[in-house]
């Protein structure tokens, strides 16, 4: 199913952008196409996430192809080596803090994740005695398919395709970051007497077992098991009843994150209840 996504995604991208370039639909039509294709690209980031957790050079390149439409080729570096290490800590840009609005979180996660991915690759290459701009830089390899895709769309449909492609990529990234915001909102890993973080477990991610949205999102809502066992294939991810539980699936919650007062009214009390009313145990930044 992951592999089947790729040709369908690229077909949708070519169809949508090609039609809009040939038949300019006006600003409302442009907005609708960008948002629709953006949702597909958000799904592509999810597919890239799953493929990026698999081993092997083929899976690495397939993940890059899945991430190319959203221009998020650095995601695998930051997610695997940054987010999974620092999740549910104030140091993780992709872990939302208690009381933090989505509109504050969005630029912090996007640009913080980009800086982190670049720093991680710079450190890895430095250990090998290589410069950061070396061709083996995983971020550069991740962005290469996006450059090729953008050039191909312009060659096929003209320069009018470029702003639409970039707009749908922005919509896709914003949708993905809304999911990131939900997944760890307010949750915090404790530190032991020696200052070391406790091991990441099911209690550090919000869990949801809604059947339809899990089918659509490759069990992404069973996020507690994913962070506890990152290499477990998505069909085998389990529901943990003792994890913090979301009140609804992502499809219902994403519109609420755009309205911070409603989101905080729904979720802040759940975070505090999970920690027995002790706000000092939550991730407040």
Domain limits for position 175: 2-281
Whole-number Cα distances in Å, 248 to 3, 55, 207, 255: 29, 33, 10, 12
Measured CA to CA, the distance from residue 131 to residue 127 in angstroms comes to 10
**pTM value?**
0.95
Q: pLDDT grade, residue 76 (50/70/90)?
A: very high
Q: What is the pLDDT of residue 61?
A: 97
Number of CB atoms found within 10 A of residue 260's CB:
16
For the segment 181-188, the average pLDDT, to the nearest whole number, is: 97
Segments of the chain assigned E as strands = none
Total tally of structural domains belonging to the chain: 1
For the segment 11-15, the average pLDDT, to the nearest whole number, is: 96
For the segment 21-42, the average pLDDT, to the nearest whole number, is: 93
Q: pLDDT grade, residue 193 (50/70/90)?
A: confident
pLDDT greater than 80 at residue 285: no
In three-state secondary structure terms, 20 is helix
For the segment 146-170, the average pLDDT, to the nearest whole number, is: 96
For the segment 215-241, the average pLDDT, to the nearest whole number, is: 91
Whole-number Cα distances in Å, 111 to 28, 48, 78, 269, 281: 29, 19, 11, 29, 27
Structure-token pair, residue 43: 């799904």
- DSSP bridge pairs for 207: 245
Measured CA to CA, the distance from residue 48 to residue 38 in angstroms comes to 15
pLDDT greater than 90 at residue 182: yes
pLDDT greater than 90 at residue 209: no
Q: Which residues contact 38 (CB under 8 A, 6 or more apart)?
A: 167, 168, 169, 170, 171, 172, 174, 175
CA 198 to centroid of chain Cα atoms: 24
How many Cα atoms are found within 13 Å in the side-chain-facing hemisphere of 72? 34
For the segment 30-46, the average pLDDT, to the nearest whole number, is: 96
pLDDT greater than 90 at residue 284: no
Average pLDDT across the chain, whole number: 95
The C-alpha R_g of the chain, in whole angstroms, comes to: 19
For the segment 248-263, the average pLDDT, to the nearest whole number, is: 96
Whole-number Cα distances in Å, 247 to 228, 241, 262: 21, 13, 13
């Amino acid at each position: 199913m992951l592999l089947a996504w790729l040709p369908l995604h690229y077909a949708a991208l070519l169809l949508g952008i090609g039609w809009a370039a040939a038949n300019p639909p006006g600003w409302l039509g442009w907005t609708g196409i960008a948002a629709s294709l953006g949702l597909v690209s958000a799904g592509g980031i999810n597919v890239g996430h799953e493929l990026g957790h698999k081993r092997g050079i083929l899976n690495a390149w397939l993940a890059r192809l899945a991430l190319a439409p959203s221009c998020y080729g650095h995601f695998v570096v930051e997610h695997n080596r940054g987010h999974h290490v620092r999740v549910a800590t104030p140091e993780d840009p992709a872990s939302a803090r208690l009381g933090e609005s989505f509109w504050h979180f969005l630029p912090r996660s996007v640009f913080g994740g980009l800086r982190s991915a670049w720093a991680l690759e710079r450190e890895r290459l430095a250990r090998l005695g290589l410069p950061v701009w070396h061709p083996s830089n995983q971020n550069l390899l991740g962005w290469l398919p996006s450059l090729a895709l953008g050039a191909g769309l312009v060659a096929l449909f003209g320069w009018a395709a470029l702003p639409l492609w970039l707009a749908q990529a922005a919509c896709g990234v914003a949708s993905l970051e809304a999911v990131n915001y939900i997944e760890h909102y307010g949750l915090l890993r404790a530190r032991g007497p020696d200052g070391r973080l406790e091991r990441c477990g099911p209690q550090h991610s919000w869990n949801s077992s809604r059947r339809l949205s899990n089918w659509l999102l490759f069990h992404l809502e069973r996020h507690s098991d994913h962070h506890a066992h990152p290499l477990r294939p998505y069909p085998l991810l389990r529901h943990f009843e003792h994890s913090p539980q979301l009140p609804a699936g992502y499809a219902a919650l994403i519109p609420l994150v755009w309205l911070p007062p409603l989101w905080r009214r729904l979720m802040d009390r759940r975070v505090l209840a999970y920690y027995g009313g002790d706000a000092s145990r939550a991730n407040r930044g």
